Amino acid sequence: IAVHLIPMIFRSTLLRKPGHSAHAEFGPSETETVKTEASKPESYDAEPTKAKQKTAKGRCRRRRGCRRRGCRRDRFATYFPRVLKGIHPSLRLSRQAVNVLDSFVKDMFEQIAEEAGRLARSTRRCTILNNDIQTAVRLLLPGELGKYAISEATKSVIRYNTRR
């Protein structure tokens, strides 16, 4: 055992709470609290506390990483201007219109996924197949709109498979 680890091993074997002395009814003395706060190394059993490190611009690295990974929102908003530019290059969308379209696409995606999941469960499968999604689209979208969506999706899948 390394010599510098002996005090930590000895401290970890004690079953008293930190900040309490052997004389629990009197509480820790002032010198005892100063000594334990100043010379107490972090134990290896404790979870490491991540200090917020500042970058050159003064922003916190930990928060920035959280924003990228943990708080990520799935949005389709980046695709609407591209599609509109292909159809009408001179037209633009307002932010409110983009938000409405984004919520509409998310809602339709959730409905199609739920219906396809129900169809897969009814046939006692754990996997959603393309036939389940096609049937869900036919059930959710009325008449010609459903047929058009299925034909466009089929074309997109064929185009994807040929490029791969």
Write the pLDDT tens digit of every residue in 112-137. Answer: 999 999 999 999 999 999 899 999 99
Architecture of domain 91-163: Orthogonal Bundle (1.10)
Alpha helices in the chain (DSSP H): 6-13, 30-39, 61-68, 79-87, 95-122, 130-140, 143-163
Instruction: Check: CB of residue 101 under 8 Å from CB of residue 118.
Output: no
In whole angstroms, give the CA distance from residue 164 to residue 161.
Answer: 5
Residue 70 is encoded by which pair of tokens? 């943990």
pLDDT at 142 over 70: yes
**Helix H or strand E segment including 24:** none
Domain with CATH 1.10.20.10 in the chain: 91-163
Output the pLDDT for position 75.
85
Place 74 in a pLDDT band, splitting at 50, 70 and 90. Answer: confident
pLDDT in tens, 2-48: 445 444 544 544 444 555 544 444 555 555 555 555 555 555 555 55
